[in-house]
Structure 1
Amino acid sequence: MIFPPECKVVGHAYQKPVGDKVYFLTEYLVRRVPDGFELLKVTPNPEGHGMMRDIIHEEVLARADETVMYPGRVNQHDRADMVRRALSTKKRCTIFGAMDEHMNFVLDPDLSLFQIVHVYDIRPPRANLSVTIESLEKDGLLGELECIFEHHVRDISLIDADVYPCRAGGFSKTLDMDRMEGGERVAGCLTGRQLYQECYGSNFKLIEICPISAVSEEPFLARCCRKEQSGIGMYNGFFGAVVHWGASPKTVLDAVYEMVQEWRRRNGQDSSRSG
């Protein structure tokens, strides 16, 4: 797959106001031809002077019958989304226009080159970590990492329990609002266990719902209500990052970058990889 990390290396040759010269930073050229567009790899003269240079070598990477101009504008910072869109066209080369009118392309799209990151969360109420990751992706803030996020969100309302953690989830009987009688099946975590034991004793059955307990693949991101669990490292034999229950988007963003960079460093990859 060829997918330039920055649009500044992609030029277009719709007209030739200065002849066959190209901008000195240009590496790829989208050229209009009678039956559409073709993609070229070009080498500007490195010994030339000025901003516009003669081309000393050019190579056709994709012919017009292999190339499509994607309709509409896309967020070019959401790189995984662009690869998915490129795959949907069934063409070798998909050219994209951006909201700021810049241009980029994906040649021979391949999502297998992206790192899979597993996201573990629960609902109700709102699966804050999962929703935040989706929002950061949509805004293009995670595109440089070239990751795909697989979400594992457990719906705890489907658990056969007598008691649930809190009223915020819309449950009728909860640890935070109701008095326990003993013998209940409680959907909860370590915090719920401690609360029940301190207030009512040990006559209950805990059904574990902490997202960390569900982790089965790495690298991962998970949410936990225990502040001391927050950080990056090994959890139950798997490497990942844990953020606190109400972590801000900035905290989640930092955790994703730090975790992925450390994962790549541990696995001998370029930890500075940015697309």
Structure 2
Amino acid sequence: MIIHCKGVGVASTRPCGDKVYFLSQYLLRVASNPPGYDLVKVVPDPKGTGLMRSIQSEELVVPSEQVYCYPEKVQIHDHALLVRLAAEGGYRCTVFTGLDEHLTFVLDPDPDELLTIHVYDIIPPRPSLSACIIELEACGLFGDLSVRFVHHIEDISTWDADVFPCRAAGFHRTLDADRMEGGEKVAGCITGAALYHECCDQEMTQLNTCPVDQVSEEPFIARCCRIERTGIAIHHGRFGAVVHWGASPADIAYSIQALVKEWRDRE
């Protein structure tokens, strides 16, 4: 369980006596034996007025000996990170300090409660979809979704091919820059195969590089250069989202949010 920082208060001083902020759900109450925090659940008086309210009820949830304060500041909106770090620590409750000094905690961490989304991409060059998801996740964009990502990155430079898709990836012989002679083993997708046959009337052997055709787990997200394949659908018997090869971070974020909603609606 993770509570938004606005619902977590720190009880170290009492400028208003025993009153708490009206949004408080939990207090990290300073403890001395052992030093640290007790985690206390509180219910502010619902009939009270003003920002500070009397406490209607309180309950000790976790004593200080079972509460660990993570020593480094973290992005507290990256819930998958918090759950992983808390689970690794082995304590029932882990308190985290955000980059902006806000506090939150993870209670009874269970990484298996996070939905795993499988990301399919290729290198070289940069795996744009995978890299973008890592960057968006690091800033906490997917925190409210309770998801984690497993990245499946295929390195096509290791493939036994004569021709590769493009010079941008650093290959010496590519579809976009060299004349084809026929009989080559070509690492490329259906678009690459179409380009080959438009420029050369000979046969070739295709080694399919499309990330969508590498999918073996669900739910998934993958990228593809064919606009007609984009969207949420079933591919190779697996449910997932396909974004265009040049999808923006906003497009990728929207696709993940829509994917998670539809996946959970199916359950």
TM class by smaller structure: over 0.9
Q: Which residue number corresponds to residue 273 of structure 1?
A: none
Of residues 17, 20, 41 in structure 1, which corresponds to 2:18? 20
| Paired positions, count | 265
- C-alpha deviation, 1:201, in angstroms: 2.5
Q: What are the Cα deviations for residues 20-74 of structure 1, in whole angstroms up to 9, with x where unaligned?
A: 1111211101000112211011112222233222222211111111011111321
Alignment partner of 1:254 is 2:246: no
Specify every segment of 5 or more residues in structure 2 that has no aligned partner in the other structure, as ranges: none
* Alignment of structure 1 residues 108-127 onto 2, 5 Å: 108-127=108-127
- C-alpha deviation, 1:257, in angstroms: 0.9
Alignment partner of 1:64 is 2:42: no
Indicate if the aligned counterparts of 2:122 and 2:211 stay in contact, CA closer than 8 A: yes
Measure the CA separation in 1 of the matches of 2:127 and 2:48.
56
Indicate if the aligned counterparts of 2:181 and 2:202 stay in contact, CA closer than 8 A: no
1:56 counterpart SS class: strand
Overall identity of the aligned pairs, in %: 52
Q: Which residue number corresponds to residue 3 of structure 1?
A: 2
Q: Which residue number corresponds to residue 162 of structure 2?
A: 162
Alignment partner of 1:103 is 2:103: yes
Measure the CA separation in 2 of the matches of 1:168 and 1:49.
63
TM-score scaled to structure 1, two decimals?
A: 0.93
* Alignment of structure 1 residues 209-248 onto 2, 5 Å: 209-248=209-248
Q: Which residue number corresponds to residue 271 of structure 1?
A: none
Measure the CA separation in 2 of the matches of 1:74 and 1:160.
43
- C-alpha deviation, 1:235, in angstroms: 1.7
Q: What are the Cα deviations for residues 226-254 of structure 1, in whole angstroms up to 9, with x where unaligned?
A: 12211112222211111111111111111
- C-alpha deviation, 1:222, in angstroms: 0.4
Q: Which has the higher contact order (CA 8 A, sep 6+)?
A: 1
Corresponding letter in the other structure for 1:28: Y
Corresponding letter in the other structure for 2:233: G
* Alignment of structure 1 residues 32-43 onto 2, 5 Å: 32-34=30-32, 35=34, 36-43=36-43
1:25 counterpart SS class: coil
- C-alpha deviation, 1:184, in angstroms: 0.8
Q: Runs (4+) of structure 1 moved beyond 6 Å?
A: none
Corresponding letter in the other structure for 1:71: P
